[in-house]
Amino acid sequence: MKEVQRKTSKLKIIITLIFMIAFIFIVTKGTKILQKNTDFYVVANGSLYYEEMAEGYLIRNEITLQGENYKNGMVQVLTDGERVADSEIVFRYYSNSEESIKKEIADLDEEINEIIENSGLSMPTSDILSIETQIEDTINSMYNLNYLQKIQENKNKIEAYISKKAEYTGIFSPSDSYLKQLTQKRSDLEKELESGSEIIYAPCAGLASYRVDGLEEILKVDNFDYLSTELLNGFDLKVGAIVPLSNEKGKIVNNFECYIATSINTEKAMTAQVGDIVTLRLSNSDEIDAEIVYIKEEDQNRILVFKIEKDVAELLQYRKISFDIIWWKYTGWKISNSCIIEEDDKAYVEKATAGYVERILVKILRQNDTYSIVNNYEEDELRQLGYTEDEISKMSKIKLYDEIISH
């Protein structure tokens, strides 16, 4: 009897061991199969956009400047896009005899300097040395310049220093000397040159620009009712074309804001409202906030006008541009839509834990065709969905960097 019991006990132990080995084998193999045949997606921070491409026309508050002597050509006093104060000089027109007068002045400078070098005249050494140092420093600063306007400015400085040197020499030479006569003649020519030039001043503060395309008087900012698809298309402008510099006119542009008008017929554009804030991505990759300030309904299109307050100076050289309208942007936990299981108007994800699959309820905040921004429900939200306190306490939550199953 005891022998039978011992054999039965041994048999039970053997059977138990077999079951344990089989269980471990199944779990181990099952986990490996799950890992081998299942793709995982890591929950990470990210952003979703809903964006559309568009083309638009820049409309600015700009005042065109033109004098009477515009046929003579003009000298730019400021660089294009530089800020200008009220009543500051923007540009001037050449006088009728400017070239001949400037040549006379240059000849006089050469003659004056030659007399200075070859004479033993007594002069204020410290003043002359200071001027010569300024001339030398200005020349040295020009070596690495490749911007024509700055080179011209330095050239003008050098001419002014030479003139001052000649003036000092003339002042401190005998009153009846030939040098005195030359410096006086030079001074008279400078006055003649100045009096013959027409100087154009800024009527207000803003950005100085010499890119005048003739649309300044058509595209106005006080009222946008004149805008239409037919009008905009009628300008026949190329996207991204740079407005050339004028040799006859200039303008002052409001540097705080400008507008972009576009004709569009997308679903999002058709439901947009005045006052909506969107993001525009420009060709330089800058993303700037924009407010829709005007909408006009047409048969098939809509005219939208966006107001922007950044990159105004950067856009100064363009009239027609391409850009992206980012209608909405949402940031949070980003997952692939292939991870989402929808049942009974609820969304779930599945996470593999220790060889078994756990289903987790998630809240979809934003979604496009490929990705979703998700989060966990708050307890109050779960109660509103009908879950009991016991069910809520047992619910698992999704976490950042969780590996969820992609189906």
Domains with residue ranges and CATH for the chain: 39-47+333-406 (2.40.420), 52-64+215-329 (2.40.30.170), 95-196 (no CATH)
Q: Which two tokens stand for residue 190?
A: 């400078």
Distance CA 35, CA 27 (A): 12
Q: Please tell me the least confidently modeled range out of 12-21, 192-201, 232-241.
A: 12-21
Beta strands in 194-345 (DSSP E): 198-201, 206-209, 250-253, 258-264, 277-281, 287-297, 302-308, 320-336, 341-343
The candidate with the shortest Cα–Cα distance to 138, out of 164, 101, 110, 172, is: 164
Helix (H, G, I), strand (E, B) or coil at 270: helix
pLDDT score recorded for residue 172: 55
Percent helix, strand and coil across the chain, each rounded to 5?
35, 30, 35
- Residues in CB range of 209: below 8 A, 6 or more apart: 62, 80, 81, 250, 251, 252, 253, 316
Cβ atoms of 308 and 290 closer than 8 Å: yes
pLDDT in tens, 261-286: 999 999 999 999 999 999 999 999 99
The most confident of the ranges 32-41, 79-88, 175-184 is 79-88
Helices (H), 54-197: 98-118, 125-141, 148-171, 178-196
Model pLDDT for residues 103-161, shown as the tens digit of each residue:
877 887 887 777 777 765 545 555 556 666 766 666 566 555 544 445 455 555 556 65
The span from the CA of 309 to the CA of 288, in Å, is 8
The answer on pLDDT for 299 being more than 70 is yes
What is the average pLDDT value for the chain, to the nearest integer?
A: 83
